[in-house]
Every structure is written in C-alpha cells, then in structure tokens.
Amino acid sequence: MITRELTRIQKGERPIEPNMISENKSYPDYYLVPRVYNHNVSRLFRNITKTSTDHKLFIPIPQEAYLMENKSFFEIKPSIHPVNHSFSFLITGESVCQETPFLLVVIPSVIDHREMREAIRRTWIKAAETNSWPRANVTVRLKHIFLFGYNKNSKLQDFRRLLRESHEHRDVVMVDFEDSYRNLTIKILSGLRWMTSFCPRAEFLLKVDEDTFINAPLMTELLLRVRQEERTGKYVLGLRHAYRQPVVARHGKWAVSKEEYPLDYYPHYLYGHTYAISRLGVGELLDKSKYARIIAPEDAYITGILPKISGIPRLGAPSFAVCCRLIYDCEVVWNRRVALTAVVNTKTLNQLWANVLGDVCDKDVAFIDGRLIK
C-alpha cells in the first residue's frame, strides 16, 4: 500500500488515506503524510526568506545590553505572590482537538467580523486542514479556533450568536471577559490556557490575526525544521520587531503607565500579527504570567516580557509575516514568506487566495463563490 501511495504522491495526487500514517508507529499521530513522501519540500523552501548574513531560517535574539542595569526586574522574587489567572470558557470548542494536531492556530476575533471568519474558513484554513493546498502537501494535522470575549452590555446576546456559529462550524471558543484592546493580552493568555486544557498534545500554538494569511505548507514545514534544530523545546518564534530598543509608549493607544511597567524599554519582542510558541513554551509562559503584571501591548508582553522572565529563547525568523505591501507582490504565493499581514478585508483575502490557486501574481484575478475567476 505504501508503494501505491508514494506513486500517487509523486504524480501530484493526494493520498487515498490521509491517516494511513497511523500504521507506521515511527511517526507521531499528527502526520497526515510521511515526511519522506513530501516531494514538494525542496521546491517549497527554494525561495523562503532567510537571514541576510548567514542565510539561516531563524536566529536567537540576543540578550539586551540596554536592560542589563534592570536585570533584577525580570527575576522572580520570593516576595512576589503569584496571581492565578482563572479563565472561564463559556463556549469550550472542546471537540476541535479530538484528533491531535501538530499545529493549533488561534485566531482572535470579534463577534461582528463574521464575514471575515467565513472567508478564512473557505480559503487557507480549509485547504490547510483538508490537505488540499494547491501544488503542495500539508504533511501534518492542523486545527484552528476563533477566540472571543464579549462586548460590554451584550454578553448574553453575544453568547447566543456565537453558540449558533459554534453549532455550525465547531471552531468557536468564548471566554468570560470583556473584549477590548486593553484586554487583548488576557485574550491571548486565555488561548494559551485553552491549548493546555483542550489541546495539550499539539506541538505548536500559532497566534494569527484575522488580517493575516498563512502559507500553511511552508509554515508547517518551517516549524518542523525549527523543532528539529532547536533542542530546548521551549521558545517563541516570529518576526523580530524592527526597533533596536523598543520604547514604552506613555501616551496614546499603546500607552502603559510607569506603575504597570516602570522601565523605559521593552525587551526585544516579535510582531504580534503572527508568532508561534512551542508546546513547552506555552506552559512556561503561562506559569510566568502569574508573576508579571499584565499590560496592554500583547506582543510586547507575550513574546518579550514573559520569555525574558522565563529565560526561554526568542527566535527571529525573517520568513514570518511581511506587512503593508501590494497584495500582488506575492511573497506568500512564491513561498518567500510563511505569512502576509494587512489583508484588510474579504475582497483582499479572496484576491490573494485566487493568486495562490492560480500560481500567479495578478491583481485582476478573483476568488468568487469558491471558484477562480480570471
């Protein structure tokens, strides 16, 4: 049977039995296709963006010299009493991980963005979860959840709306907190807690904003390679923020008070639109969040402050999300990037997906009602 399947895959056909890998106990259950079968891997990685100096997929972010004088701030002191963050899940989504995934994709959403969620469900998420990506195998199982709080003064109404959506799609998780920008860090921490409670065997958690597109075959292959090379087992991975010394904003949308965070600079952190956390890293960050006061800039807290306190590596991968370029620049279509952000609406997402389907870079193609229109 394996010979027959290999022949099919070499011809570019999908395997007859995507779960046949369970017959070979040398592979984890989350493999859909044995890695030796994935003849597209070398082609996928031919164009992937690497570090400019030594051409690596990722590099550890060095310790910050500018924080050396404040080193003790990031040390846990016996006098600090841990704060246990209790998360109550109003809609659990507990069936999502009945089959163990390699990658759990957590997509923070708000209730009124139903149209965008439907567009995500019928494009890259569907292709990733059904191993129907154009011209490539997604060799491991991937699952996703949409993560919600509730709007002020409409908790019951929001619960009913999301419960209906959950019955239809089985991918909704609702947490008992008020949804707001200032609570985004709590929202992501609740996603980490959800993984440890309902999806504890997933190898990675991938946090993805709604306006970010994921090249699933390239992303999963990158994570498989990072997992092989980074032996610590505990790390966060993403695109390093451009600031040499990330300044703490004291005014405006991202303002953090001196009382909340007394230092003038954050540790180096990753862009928040897309980042991955290893399974062991998820548990470590959750544990250390008991000792670090929660602040509003979620990316600075989750991928900067908590890893700094935990002592786990922050890995910078230049192939992660690129921002603010014309959609038909095609970084994800040509496998240069594992993600593209600033996909601002369903029209833009459908246009990008049409380019992926057609293997083209053309702003005039479209994906309408499940069909590629040229």
Helices (H), 207-340: 216-229, 279-288, 298-300, 306-310
Same domain, 74 and 148: yes
Same domain, 66 and 114: yes
Which range of residues forms the domain containing residue 6?
Answer: 2-39
Q: Determine the Cα–Cα distance for residues 338 and 346; give it in Å rounded to an integer.
A: 20
What's the pLDDT score for residue 325?
Answer: 63
Give domain status of residue 325, yes or no.
yes
Single out the residue of 125, 136, 129, 48 nearest to residue 359, CA to CA. Answer: 136
Do residue 200 and residue 95 come from a single domain? yes
Residue 44 banded pLDDT, cuts 50, 70, 90: confident
> Do residues 209 and 270 both lie within one domain?
yes
Q: What is the mean pLDDT of the chain?
A: 88
- Find the distance separating the first CA and the last CA of the chain, reported in whole Å: 39
Q: Determine the Cα–Cα distance for residues 294 and 268; give it in Å rounded to an integer.
A: 17
pLDDT value for 111? 97
Q: What is the reported pTM? A: 0.89
Q: Mean of the pLDDT values across residues 114-122?
A: 98
> Does residue 53 sit within a domain?
no
Same domain, 21 and 167: no
CB-count burial class (<10 Å; 0-12, 13-18, 19+) for 186: buried
Same-domain pairing of 158 and 26: no
The predicted pLDDT at position 26 comes to 55
Distance between CA 225 and CA 223 in Å, rounded? 5
Instruction: Tell me the pLDDT tens digit for each residue of 99-113.
Output: 999 999 999 999 999
Examine the domain organization and report whether 238 and 131 are in the same domain: yes
Q: What is the CATH number of the domain that holds 307?
A: 3.90.550.10
On whether residue 50 sits in a domain, the answer given is no
pLDDT of residue 242: 86
pLDDT attached to residue 21: 33
Residues 8 and 155 in one domain: no
Instruction: State the Cα–Cα distance between residues 110 and 318, nearest whole angstrom.
Output: 29
316 in any annotated domain? yes
Percent of the chain with pLDDT over 70: 85
Q: Are residues 213 and 158 in the same domain?
A: yes
Asked whether residue 15 is domain-assigned, the answer is: yes
- Same domain for 197 and 109, yes or no, is yes
In the predicted structure, residue 281 carries a pLDDT above the cut 90: yes
Residues 249 and 125 in one domain: yes
Q: Kindly state whether residues 157 and 205 are assigned to the same domain.
A: yes
Q: Does some domain include residue 199?
A: yes
Tokens describing residue 206: 């991938």
SS3 category, 239: strand
Per-residue confidence (pLDDT) for residue 82, from 0 to 100: 84
Please give the pLDDT value at position 30: 84
The H or E element that residue 186 is part of is helix 184-198
How far apart, in whole angstroms, are the C-alpha atoms of residue 347 and residue 355? 13
Predicted confidence at residue 230, as pLDDT, reads 92
374 pLDDT band, cuts 50/70/90, is low
- Distance of alpha carbon 47 from alpha carbon 220, whole angstroms: 16
Paired tokens of 321 = 């999300």
User: Is 67 inside any structural domain?
Assistant: yes
Q: What is the pLDDT of residue 247?
A: 96
Other Cβ atoms within 10 Å of 226 Cβ, number: 18
Instruction: Specify the number of domains making up the chain.
Output: 2
Contact, 121 vs 168, CB < 8 A?
no
How far apart CA 18 and CA 136 sit, in angstroms, is 14
Question: pLDDT (tens digit, 9 = 90+) per residue, 313-369?
Answer: 999 999 997 766 665 568 888 899 999 998 999 999 998 999 999 888 877 766 566
Q: Does 293 score more than 80 pLDDT?
A: yes
Could you give the percent of the chain with pLDDT greater than 90?
Answer: 70
pLDDT for 97 equals 98
Instruction: Note the pLDDT of residue 253.
Output: 84
How far is CA 348 from its chain centroid? 20
Looking at residue 370, its pLDDT comes to 60
What is the pLDDT at residue 328? 55
Question: What is residue 83's predicted lDDT score, i.e. its pLDDT?
Answer: 84
- Over residues 153-166, mean pLDDT: 97
The three-state secondary structure class of 276 is: strand
Kindly state the average pLDDT of the residues 70-93.
Answer: 89
Question: Is there a domain that residue 224 lies in?
Answer: yes
Return the higher-pLDDT residue of 274 and 25: 274
Tens of pLDDT, residue by residue over 239-257, are 999 889 999 999 988 899 9
> Tell me: the pLDDT tens digits for 191-234?
999 999 999 999 999 999 999 999 999 999 999 999 999 988 99
